[in-house]
Structure 1
């Protein structure tokens, strides 16, 4: 037995170094604010910020509750957030300037207690300046945002390049790198290993306390173990093996004195008892679940519903979706019910256990765990598809609220092209994205003797990176505002399941893939804080309103009971389809779709609005497409929001799938409003966010639709907005949209396409990227004319990457100091020639690390608008003394390995994130000089205060040449 009291100060000594930095945007969270009573409709909030010294980065965090809101900086709209979006974070460095700045928030309320909250962190040389919303914004102060919902004092779940995707391999019993686990956890908690698995006890994957308070653990292969805790709960007093014919029990719950199990390799759900002689008795098969076993029959949770015990069962996409002897709440209009069924994960409920089966929701990939909140609503942590990593259609792991009847969009389509975009406006949005991880179990903390707010939070297990993630939730209408926090991390800590003990402690088991297993107890040992969380005025009102909204939401969840506003279904569609709340819209549309047809198979009404036009398009009836398109073509983009724009694009795309000829005959009418949208998207520099996606994602969807419609305007639009983007997902979406385009090309746009195509082989992605390129390339090349083949012969195949040689060394002139260059930077100093400065920018090697406009690399800070943040004196000081102030994300790393070697350099972010190798560039001026370090061999690493930028870069240039360089930087182009 080992007892390890953990705190962040032990990170370096235990070898689990710099897991992820704390994210604290201010010493305290911002306050929710809103207008006074005399300005309720379109409130405007203004605040000035004076920055007296140069700054390196500026990070904005913003939340809008029950309103649409836009943030402006110095007259430029930088962020627009629709109602019911999660908190947004944005780098706003390029919009701020040294001196006076003005921040403006413009809001438009929807139903509910509207409020906004903002924090701005500006990193300067020796300090960080914070600005938060409070009463100083000439607004009504509605109380502080809960710290856990703003990340204040919480550790981020962001992963550094040092994190090893294969850390679980170190838990293999035959691993040459097998070692005792090392941990970090939130201060005030301790983790204790109660027992490590013996060689004959297998690998562990599921656990539950039985009616006697003993812990039952299922083995990955077959059988169970029953463990009795010692009286002081500091160790395991006894272990009893329980033989069973059930193979790989992934879900295990107690129903009275009985146990119910999801046995994945036995392909079914079973009920049984454990007799006094440690044998399984009264084993009964409740239902068989055919299919494969990879993403299989996963977790179970038991609850009481209407006075009856019910069991929820979560299944991965390897299991066949049951269609017989089951009540199906999902929409009759899903493509799985109209075409060949595609594999998808799903949620079942049975009450009493084994009887009256219900299919509650679908469209999942591999949701391993499940738990219910205090209202009895299910949540899960769903997996991503690693095959699609780096693609524009990839979606990360995510926390989901499993809406009854909900479709979360996923269908198995690995290796099939054109690809499937799983997230659409007719799919249920996630609660929050998690990112790189391998989801296993989840558990709400209601039974834990932890301090607030952890007792109200959802704990989610990440098997790959050995983490326990906390998801803090606050009700917002029928959905939730959410924020994440890193609670516990170990190396290795391949966590498979979690449960609460009668003592209020958390019990974790590790295992899976035949790795070494162990049982851990996590308990709070700090000063207990039992007081209820103090809520501000806005939070109180938001929760009251959400209770009312959830009653409306619940009335729509059972389509056979729901009636829109009490009116007959052949008169109106549910008014909630126009709700600002995305979950209410989903539930209302589901109720509408369930009763969309009358007994004779005719639509019950003529669709008029976008939401019910979407429902009509989802019927995929060719005869309906002309009528739908007649309504869609009249839509006015200038009057629509981002959500409506996503829905419009989806409607046309569904119509094109259903009846291409009907769409082709109306192509001119559809392209006209679409081109208006293109111009708006191209002209806007504002990041817009809606529950359906961002404006960046809408650009990709619009380009794809233009490709399907054969628009001649596509090459120009795609080249300007996607192909020339620094984001690889943009480039891939542009190439996908353009793959069959034969019209509208110019030499410039064609060159952009071929350059982007040749970049694909150097992009970072999952196993699907190479076959996608293989599928895509011949289609694009087939669209080239004979003249284009000749003109672009050098771009028809990827060329080897060549490193531009360093310019010949220049003669050292003198060691420049700042006082010696006063005549260059003083306010009335004459400016140099920016064109000559561009040459100096190259010869001084600045172009190797810094980008100005479209020129240069993005290794170091962006310099396009550096003159807004730095005076001429500041610029010169930063060049002459690069170590004076180094932004955290540009610092060099010093790395110590097990063999005692020390390496120094810049971590290269490019590369397969699953690789066990860390790539380090040892000379920033020579990107080809790299070394690879095995992450398992790293014992310590620290960011240094040393800049990768060498000192003395200007010592070979004259005073006039330095003047030209400053002119170029001031021009910023």
Structure 2
């Protein structure tokens, strides 16, 4: 059956019916083929048109290319088909003009998005309504230099599309004892696509169209007919808001407007009591636009100030104050490569930010920085601030990829986003880690369940939205030290369900959310609890760790302040065992004049305090303190330091060299004397940081050791890291090392990743080629000429031989009767040999397409683990379930929707190749069914011996801990 909510988009495959050219007959179809010059299409701007091989060659030459033609056609619903091909993905727009409105405008346009298929013809089909006789068409094919070949263009009459509807509730999976209602399907052509919401004092919702106006919704009362929901367009010149908040008898809007309306903070008031906003004040400009522009606004816990979040394409709004020391920088020891496809190229620290301001927007204060694109923020009942930050999905498969993650945005915090390859790993001590990593996705609205008439567990939960995968997660926090850790579960999900914002209505205690964005079908939903558990408001209960959080907050009181005794007050906590307390103490220290405490660093004897204080000095001191600081650090006994202290010391050396200056030859030797023998280490992340510093210092035999690590590395991320750090090293090579290094790039063609992945490898190799002499280039010519983007994958080594078709019962019986000490390293090797690292993250390593398996051993017994490996389709996790799309041309597409654009669903069909997506037109879908097959392939362990399989099982059960009892000698 045809789904009611389908809309039109790019058709994956279609057959064109040829029609004769009838340009003077306004009521018949028209088709333009390109066998001769008399086709009537004209290049208007930034492009050129020519004919070749019976196709129109459209060469885009600038930033705003478009071409078109005048014509005559009747009004009403029209369908245009364009058969084209292009080496690049096209994100363009179709415009039309009519007798009534004889000019091209955004109001008479429709966006389109094609897939990447350089050699294949594809058919673009768009349906639109002309308000009177059609007089012209204009096509804007791409916003960058490209060549588009068009075989034909046809225009014909069409029926009106079926009434658009948001995703029906019977297709939404929801936790037991919760009820969901679709209150309103937004008519896209009239009311756009809603991306933000707030609640007014009467319990009404106010929503904003991403590209249009504001709407006020009076939801139907709980238990009544949902059709009683009332929607009105607010008669005020305001909209395009990514953030809305009703507070201080005002409606605040954070506008993400670009050219149409200045982006920034606005305040709307009803000055005459007629229940309409009649006053609009522009309080503060916030320079930024687009999907990484200014976003959410929320009220502070004390209800005295406002908090605003913005993405990494948004400038700080000239803040008057800052809890973050204003000395942020890139802090990259080795050269950075910008994104291989140009995204965020040139964007520098601080990245995305959170500020707070007064009700009039007069004084802004920076609270937290270093985000990629956090869309929303929320306070828990304790007054702690959280956000859900975005990943860079194009980086999947690379060592600098960071999954979407929930962050505890404490005072003065930094989360280390840097553009391109420069993103900081979360173990850097000058940043803070995530509360929990979620994986791939597109974060949008978040809210705590505070005030909802839900069971206690869900009142305490942080609800977060994943727009691309169509999921609302419930994140359950657990205090750990001065911060939190968390687990999460899927609360609601569907395909598609592009969730944009979440709110809890204090008037009725219900949970509301919207879907929409990027001109996708929008809707408003309500979730209520129908079970038997108590929904009485949860009273805060003190926990054993509350004192540590209180200590952290006491230290944070010094942020942004200066005082004679602050140094003495915070110094004892620089070596605290809790990372968040060390961080809070250091930030307080950095707010004090460096002259007050710089000599104290050099006198400090405790290694933990010395390293933390040294980081502060490196970030704030003058170059004259480089030598004294290095002389003090050389006395530290490397072997006496803990693993965390070693990692922090390596980062400290990086900051010294970046901020205070290059080491002298004697200083270089002193550092090498301390750390050189530690490389290689047992820990892969320790090796990553050692390799950075040792390559920078050109340590003896660093190339040989690094290439050996690269050869043994079990994950592509680790291999790429070593290729990257060596790419800038010019000295210390010989012919054999050069050949070994550049041959790795040929082998790297077997690796897969996101959209930027292959181009990154090309660019890293290009940087390495710059260090070659002409003679070396000639010697390596056959290797260097290999096209990494187009050559067939080179598989490393022969395939493992088939051993047997293992069953769950066989290996479970062997595991239950196992008396042998298991081998951790071999278990890790088998995790790689069975390609698990390609899709799954484990102990911080590997991919993110599948679930993180680090905690699997704590949640599942041996039988569960073996079943998931050997019989992956027996029980499929809702979080990673795929969908079977049955299309109207008879084809079946099986995969996970990972992105949307207008009317397109981008479907991942192969977990091992995340950049290869299939575009499915929602209007070509006859039926969508939950797939009964897991995307995880079967037979992965059939090449393992029994001992190898048992080591793999032990590795999974250990959570990556080498000291797990399974790896100890059996008594």
The alignment status of 1:204 with 2:194, answered yes or no, reads: yes
The alignment status of 1:335 with 2:329, answered yes or no, reads: yes
Counterpart for residue 597 of structure 1: 594
- State the Cα distance separating 1:721 from its structure 2 match: 2.5
Q: 2:572 aligned to 555, 570, 575, which one?
A: 575
The alignment status of 1:368 with 2:379, answered yes or no, reads: no
In 2, Cα distance between equivalents of 1:340 and 1:933: 30
- State the Cα distance separating 1:802 from its structure 2 match: 7.3
Counterpart for residue 219 of structure 1: 209
Compared with structure 1, are the counterparts of its residues 944 and 467 closer, same or farther at alpha carbon in structure 2 (3 Å cutoff)? closer
In 2, Cα distance between equivalents of 1:582 and 1:792: 47
Compared with structure 1, are the counterparts of its residues 794 and 284 closer, same or farther at alpha carbon in structure 2 (3 Å cutoff)? closer
The alignment status of 1:513 with 2:518, answered yes or no, reads: yes
Compared with structure 1, are the counterparts of its residues 749 and 487 closer, same or farther at alpha carbon in structure 2 (3 Å cutoff)? farther
In 2, Cα distance between equivalents of 1:363 and 1:272: 31
Q: Does the aligned pair in 2 maintain the 1:919–1:933 contact within 8 Å?
A: no
Counterparts of 1:109-508 in structure 2 under 5 Å? 181=167, 182-198=171-187, 199-231=189-221, 232-235=223-226, 236-265=228-257, 266-274=262-270, 279-305=276-302, 309-324=304-319, 326-335=320-329, 342=349, 344-411=351-418, 413-414=419-420, 424-501=428-505, 502-508=507-513
Q: Does the aligned pair in 1 maintain the 2:869–2:940 contact within 8 Å?
A: no
- State the Cα distance separating 1:895 from its structure 2 match: 6.5
In 2, Cα distance between equivalents of 1:222 and 1:856: 50
Compared with structure 1, are the counterparts of its residues 329 and 532 closer, same or farther at alpha carbon in structure 2 (3 Å cutoff)? closer
SS at match of 1:518: strand
In 2, Cα distance between equivalents of 1:741 and 1:568: 46
Q: 1:721 aligned to 705, 709, 712, which one?
A: 709
Q: Does the aligned pair in 2 maintain the 1:226–1:239 contact within 8 Å?
A: yes
Q: 1:708 aligned to 686, 689, 696, which one?
A: 696
The alignment status of 1:522 with 2:527, answered yes or no, reads: yes
In 2, Cα distance between equivalents of 1:209 and 1:906: 37
SS at match of 2:573: helix
Counterparts of 1:650-729 in structure 2 under 5 Å? 650-679=651-680, 681=681, 684=682, 695-729=683-717
Q: Does the aligned pair in 2 maintain the 1:457–1:472 contact within 8 Å?
A: yes
In 2, Cα distance between equivalents of 1:904 and 1:699: 42
**Deviations 1:111-153 (CA, angstroms, capped at 9, x unpaired):** xxxxxxxxxxxxxxxxxxxxxxxxxxxxxxxxxxxxxxxxxxx
Compared with structure 1, are the counterparts of its residues 887 and 745 closer, same or farther at alpha carbon in structure 2 (3 Å cutoff)? farther
Q: Does the aligned pair in 2 maintain the 1:442–1:458 contact within 8 Å?
A: yes
SS at match of 1:698: helix
Compared with structure 1, are the counterparts of its residues 205 and 630 closer, same or farther at alpha carbon in structure 2 (3 Å cutoff)? same
TM-score (norm. length: structure 2): 0.63
In 1, Cα distance between equivalents of 2:724 and 2:269: 56
Compared with structure 1, are the counterparts of its residues 171 and 443 closer, same or farther at alpha carbon in structure 2 (3 Å cutoff)? farther
Q: Does the aligned pair in 2 maintain the 1:741–1:783 contact within 8 Å?
A: yes
In 1, Cα distance between equivalents of 2:625 and 2:177: 62
In 1, Cα distance between equivalents of 2:620 and 2:578: 24
Compared with structure 1, are the counterparts of its residues 623 and 526 closer, same or farther at alpha carbon in structure 2 (3 Å cutoff)? same
Counterpart for residue 549 of structure 1: 548
In 1, Cα distance between equivalents of 2:162 and 2:561: 61
Work out which structure has the larger RCO, using CA pairs closer than 8 Å and 6 or more positions apart in sequence: 1
In 1, Cα distance between equivalents of 2:352 and 2:895: 42
In 1, Cα distance between equivalents of 2:240 and 2:183: 23
Which segments of 5 or more consecutive residues in structure 1 lack a partner in the other structure? 5-168, 685-694, 808-814, 819-824, 826-849, 863-882, 922-926, 955-961
- State the Cα distance separating 1:605 from its structure 2 match: 5.2
In 2, Cα distance between equivalents of 1:816 and 1:570: 66
The alignment status of 1:776 with 2:764, answered yes or no, reads: yes
SS at match of 1:280: coil
Q: Does the aligned pair in 2 maintain the 1:499–1:507 contact within 8 Å?
A: yes
In 1, Cα distance between equivalents of 2:893 and 2:314: 49
Counterpart for residue 786 of structure 2: 798
How large is the RMSD of aligned CA atoms in angstroms? Answer: 5.0
Q: Does the aligned pair in 2 maintain the 1:381–1:399 contact within 8 Å?
A: yes
**Deviations 1:387-435 (CA, angstroms, capped at 9, x unpaired):** 4333212222111111111122224x34xx7776686210122211111
Which segments of 5 or more consecutive residues in structure 2 lack a partner in the other structure? 5-123, 129-159, 333-345, 605-609, 799-803, 808-813, 815-827, 841-865, 877-881, 899-904, 953-971
Q: Does the aligned pair in 1 maintain the 2:895–2:935 contact within 8 Å?
A: no
Q: Does the aligned pair in 1 maintain the 2:300–2:306 contact within 8 Å?
A: yes
In 1, Cα distance between equivalents of 2:572 and 2:243: 40
Q: Does the aligned pair in 2 maintain the 1:293–1:319 contact within 8 Å?
A: no
Compared with structure 1, are the counterparts of its residues 371 and 885 closer, same or farther at alpha carbon in structure 2 (3 Å cutoff)? closer
Counterpart for residue 628 of structure 2: 627
- State the Cα distance separating 1:720 from its structure 2 match: 2.9
Q: Does the aligned pair in 1 maintain the 2:447–2:463 contact within 8 Å?
A: yes
Compared with structure 1, are the counterparts of its residues 253 and 758 closer, same or farther at alpha carbon in structure 2 (3 Å cutoff)? same
Q: Does the aligned pair in 1 maintain the 2:268–2:278 contact within 8 Å?
A: yes
Counterpart for residue 10 of structure 1: none
In 1, Cα distance between equivalents of 2:664 and 2:387: 39
Counterpart for residue 111 of structure 2: none
In 1, Cα distance between equivalents of 2:710 and 2:175: 42
- State the Cα distance separating 1:497 from its structure 2 match: 0.9
Compared with structure 1, are the counterparts of its residues 798 and 534 closer, same or farther at alpha carbon in structure 2 (3 Å cutoff)? farther
Q: Does the aligned pair in 1 maintain the 2:885–2:893 contact within 8 Å?
A: no
**Deviations 1:424-451 (CA, angstroms, capped at 9, x unpaired):** 2101222111111111111000111111
Counterpart for residue 640 of structure 2: 639
In 1, Cα distance between equivalents of 2:652 and 2:220: 62
- State the Cα distance separating 1:697 from its structure 2 match: 2.5
* Worse overlay, 420-429 or 203-212: 420-429
In 2, Cα distance between equivalents of 1:950 and 1:420: 33
In 1, Cα distance between equivalents of 2:277 and 2:437: 41
In 1, Cα distance between equivalents of 2:353 and 2:567: 31
**Deviations 1:845-876 (CA, angstroms, capped at 9, x unpaired):** xxxxx9989989889999xxxxxxxxxxxxxx
Compared with structure 1, are the counterparts of its residues 364 and 970 closer, same or farther at alpha carbon in structure 2 (3 Å cutoff)? closer
SS at match of 1:246: coil
Compared with structure 1, are the counterparts of its residues 241 and 401 closer, same or farther at alpha carbon in structure 2 (3 Å cutoff)? same
SS at match of 2:252: strand
SS at match of 2:764: helix
In 1, Cα distance between equivalents of 2:908 and 2:282: 47
- State the Cα distance separating 1:904 from its structure 2 match: 12
Compared with structure 1, are the counterparts of its residues 460 and 857 closer, same or farther at alpha carbon in structure 2 (3 Å cutoff)? closer
- State the Cα distance separating 1:556 from its structure 2 match: 1.0
In 1, Cα distance between equivalents of 2:501 and 2:403: 21
TM-score (norm. length: structure 1): 0.63
- State the Cα distance separating 1:531 from its structure 2 match: 8.3
- State the Cα distance separating 1:549 from its structure 2 match: 1.4
Q: Does the aligned pair in 1 maintain the 2:471–2:492 contact within 8 Å?
A: yes
Compared with structure 1, are the counterparts of its residues 427 and 463 closer, same or farther at alpha carbon in structure 2 (3 Å cutoff)? same
In 1, Cα distance between equivalents of 2:911 and 2:626: 56
In 2, Cα distance between equivalents of 1:433 and 1:172: 41
* Worse overlay, 608-617 or 760-769: 760-769
